[in-house]
Amino acid sequence: PRAREPASPRAREPAMPHARLAGLLLPALLQSVRCLALEPPVRPAPPALRRPRPLAMSASGGTGGDSSSDPERWASLRGSDLSRELARRSTLSSRVRTSAPVRFSLAAAADGRQFLVSFARFWTGLGAAVPVNRLMLALIVAAYGLQGVCGRAMLYAGARMNQAILVGQWHRLITPIWLHGSLMHLASNSYSLWHLGPQAEALFGAERFLLLYVLSGVGGNLLGLWMGAARSMSVGASGAVFGLMGGLAGHALRTYGVAGASQTLSSVSRILLLNLFIGSRRGSGIDNLGHVGGFLAG
């Protein structure tokens, strides 16, 4: 018969019963559950807070102190010395500077300055990206679109009414520049601004073009206020457009010997006379005073 191989030492060890293994693991598991659920976690103690250094008033009024554990330093802090030091530092100017109205005013002024700087940067970047004459054209078209949404209320709120201006509604000298009475009125002024705007802006620059446009519109409304009827009502960018023609005519007169100046002057004269002739007809509804005032202002 074959000889039986001797068993290995691991095979000779008796297997651990399941009941004995469960008896060893169960107490450890219960202890872990009790520590996590029933007892708060153990946290390290916070470091001891440092005691503040004492404020010791010397004979000359200064402060000193080297060690926070010196009882003589704490004893030298007297109420009279502290009150004297606070009174010496609390002057009228410091109380005014730290008062609530002054701090609120300074903060409001800083916020207003920041807003103006941001607004100026925005318009500078917009003017560099979009020509001002095209921006004015877009504004009058957008305003006419708002008139269609708001009805005649927007027209009555912003039109030039001499009687309303005389009682203090001075905004009516500016708002009529952006309003128009009909689609044909808007188309006429838009066509003139489309052709005259680029030439005037290239000649005068963006800032001067904007100034010329707005002041010419205001000048036309001022002449209408001065010489017009008390119950008259007028809207339109015609005064501003005629101001552009006036600016071009003035520049052509100053540079009459330069090539192209005479052609510009003759072209502006023809457009001016044609518009004045159309506006002189009975029942045309055209404000010639606004045209003439805008041209003279330009």
Q: What is the pLDDT of residues 71-112, one digit of tens each?
A: 565 456 566 666 776 677 777 777 777 788 888 888 899 999
* C-alpha to C-alpha distance for 238 and 136, rounded to whole angstroms: 13
pLDDT at 192: 86
- Lowest-confidence region among 12-21, 137-146, 212-221, 288-297: 12-21
* C-alpha to C-alpha distance for 141 and 132, rounded to whole angstroms: 14
**Per-residue confidence at 252, pLDDT binned at 50, 70, 90?**
confident
Please enumerate in sequence order all residues whose Cβ is within 8 A of that of 112, keeping only pairs 6 or more positions apart, or say none.
none
The answer to whether 57 touches 74, Cβ cutoff 8 Å, is no
DSSP for residue 234: E
Q: Mean pLDDT, to the nearest integer, of 123-150?
A: 85
pLDDT at 119: 85
Give the helix ranges, DSSP H, for 178-260.
183-204, 206-227, 238-254
Catalytic center residues: 238, 291
* C-alpha to C-alpha distance for 275 and 189, rounded to whole angstroms: 11
Q: pTM of the entire structure? A: 0.57
Residue among 188, 154, 184 nearest 171 (CA): 154
Enclosing H/E stretch for 64: strand 63-64
State the chain's mean pLDDT as an integer.
76
pLDDT at 212: 94
Q: Give, rounded to a whole angstrom, the gap between the first and last alpha carbons of the chain.
A: 133
**Per-residue confidence at 297, pLDDT binned at 50, 70, 90?**
very high
Which is higher by pLDDT, 92 or 134?
A: 134
